[in-house]
Amino acid sequence: MFGIIRPCQHRLSRGLREEWTAHLCGLCLALRGTHGQAARVATNYDGLLVSVLHDAQLPAPRPGGRRTAGPCPLRGMRTATVAEGAGAQLAAAVSLVLASAKIRDHVADGDGAFRRRPLAAAATRVAGSWDAAGARGGAGVGFDTGVLVEAVRRQQAIEERTALGSPLLAVTEPTETATSAVFAHTARLAGRPENAAPLAEAGRLFGRLAHLLDAVEDLAADRAAGLWNPIDVTATPAAEVRRLCDDAVRGVRLALDDCEFDDGRLAHALLVHELERAVDRGFGTTCSHPGGPRPQGSHAPGPHAPGPGAPGPGGGFGPPPPPTGKPPLIRGRLAGCAVWTGLFCTCQVCCRSEYREPWRGRRREGWCHKCGDCCDCCRCCDCDGCCCDCNC
């Protein structure tokens, strides 16, 4: 699962969590319907934004916009209400074409196992079939995926002529153009042509941000492997990259303010608040909201839990807690692996809020319930008249 918008469940109200899951599962099932089970691996967090934006512009109740899906292993064999219709179909078509481009990029760079010719040839065939499936799906909702394919081709040409001192935003232009076209098409699909221009601007800036954050997150690995990275090639300072990202976040917010949504709470939560957090996460900086001073990725205690070296209730410094040591083994290696396989295959590792790891019985949080370091951040939004249902 890839994408820069990865909301923690603790930051969304129950209603918005259910909506987010409906769009994620709807995208996954639309991919299956477009090109079979294998295509579901193209499901991504950013692709569901297309479905979210489309539905946000529809009048309530949304006719034919939801259905009950059958049990799924990734939902712990539970049924769920999922999104369907034109928005999910557009999201699936776009996701297939972009996943195809990602595969071709890995093949061109010779990343990892793609250095082997048989695997590279097989991956190229898969990419070709996904391009064709994406084109069919896009045509079904009136969207020409050729604009995405052309952007990928233009991207390669731009990267080949990019050199030291080239403007960084010249490298992000194809991504901006492609994302702008997709966002604007959601307005046409929803019958809201007045939203096409501001959504095109929001999409352009979102594409810029996605490209920049991808480069930031890959920078260390690209340097170690000697791979092409636009930040290094253009010699753009980190402070300038951060400024460009922050400007893009503000621009997306202003563009969304110009849109007319019937229910834009989830779109606002994802494209305003979660976009800010994506930038903080990418740069490893502190939470941008008041009340969230903790660096991302750290394990510093929250404001009500003094840790080692932190002032105690009496003004002194509390000593670190004594080491507890490792709990004793309750299963051997093989038995533990067998139990772990059962937990994984029944999706308890991802879908349960808590489970016990099989070797020492320690409590673990399910992958889908992990909140990382978000819980010390302010859960309120600072916009006037909050519309994102975030418990302000």
Q: Look-up: residue for tokens 């800036």? A: 205
Residue 164 CA to residue 223 CA, distance in Å, equals 16
- Residues 255 and 361 occupy one common structural domain: no
**Least confident interval from 202-206, 212-216, 311-315:** 311-315
By CB atoms closer than 10 A (0-12, 13-18, 19+), residue 133 is buried
- Residues 257 and 365 occupy one common structural domain: no
Judge whether 307 lies within some domain.
no
Domain containing 349 equals 333-372
Q: How does pLDDT run across 20-47, given as a tens digit for each residue? A: 999 999 999 999 988 888 888 888 889 9
Q: Phi, psi at residue 5, to the nearest 5°? A: -95, 100
* Better pLDDT: 283 or 320: 283
Q: How does pLDDT run across 98-116, given as a tens digit for each residue? A: 889 888 887 877 777 778 8
Judge whether 378 lies within some domain.
no
pLDDT of residue 321: 40
pLDDT of residue 71: 85
Tell me, letter by letter, the H, E, C secondary structure of 277-289: HHHHHHHCCECCC
Judge whether 15 lies within some domain.
yes
Q: What is the mean pLDDT of residues 284-293?
A: 51
pLDDT of residue 389: 47
Percent of the residues in the chain that have a pLDDT greater than 90, as a whole number: 45
Q: Which of 223, 256, 283 is the last residue of a domain?
A: 283
- Residues 63 and 180 occupy one common structural domain: yes
* Better pLDDT: 219 or 354: 219
pLDDT at 310 over 50: no
> What pTM was computed for the model?
0.75
- Residues 97 and 17 occupy one common structural domain: yes
pLDDT of residue 51: 95
pLDDT of residue 390: 45
- Residues 33 and 149 occupy one common structural domain: yes
* Better pLDDT: 356 or 306: 356
Is residue 342 very low, low, confident or very high in pLDDT (cuts 50, 70, 90)? confident
Q: Which of 283, 298, 317 is the last residue of a domain?
A: 283
Q: How would you label 250-285 residue by residue, b for 16+ Cβ within 10 Å and e otherwise?
A: ebbbebbeebebebbbbbbbbbbbbbbbbbbbbbee
pLDDT of residue 340: 67
pLDDT at 386 over 50: no
Dihedral of the CA atoms 352, 353, 357, 362 (nearest 10)? -160
Residue 44 CA to residue 293 CA, distance in Å, equals 30
Among positive and negative, which fits the CA dihedral 307, 277, 365, 297? negative
- Residues 51 and 170 occupy one common structural domain: yes
Q: Which of 267, 283, 299 is the last residue of a domain?
A: 283
Which CATH number do you get for residue 219? 1.10.600.10
- Residues 201 and 77 occupy one common structural domain: yes
Judge whether 72 lies within some domain.
yes
Judge whether 386 lies within some domain.
no
> How far apart, in Å, do the first and last CA atoms of the chain sit?
30
* Better pLDDT: 361 or 55: 55
Among positive and negative, which fits the CA dihedral 176, 181, 182, 185? positive
Whether omega before 73 lies within 30 degrees of 0, making that bond cis, reads no
- Residues 63 and 165 occupy one common structural domain: yes
- Residues 133 and 228 occupy one common structural domain: yes
Is residue 327 very low, low, confident or very high in pLDDT (cuts 50, 70, 90)? low
Q: What is the mean pLDDT of residues 352-357?
A: 68
- Residues 95 and 171 occupy one common structural domain: yes
Q: How does pLDDT run across 152-202, given as a tens digit for each residue? A: 889 989 999 999 989 999 999 999 999 999 999 999 999 999 999 999 999
Judge whether 377 lies within some domain.
no
Judge whether 289 lies within some domain.
no
pLDDT at 290 over 50: no
pLDDT of residue 61: 65
Decide: 320 and 307 in contact? Cβ < 8 Å: yes
Per the structure, the count of domains in the chain is 2
Q: How does pLDDT run across 360-385, given as a tens digit for each residue? A: 677 676 655 555 444 444 444 444 43
Dihedral of the CA atoms 373, 376, 379, 381 (nearest 10)? -90
pLDDT of residue 387: 47
- Residues 163 and 261 occupy one common structural domain: yes
- Residues 276 and 352 occupy one common structural domain: no
The full DSSP string for 296-354 is: TT-----TTS--TTSB-TTSSBPPPPPP--PPPPSS-HHHHHHHHHHHHHTTHHHHSSE
Q: Phi, psi at residue 72, to the nearest 5°? A: -135, 135
Decide: 269 and 388 in contact? Cβ < 8 Å: yes
Q: What is the mean pLDDT of residues 345-352?
A: 63
Q: How far is CA 371 from CA 48, 125, 346, 376, in A?
A: 20, 38, 22, 10
Mean pLDDT over the full length of the chain: 80
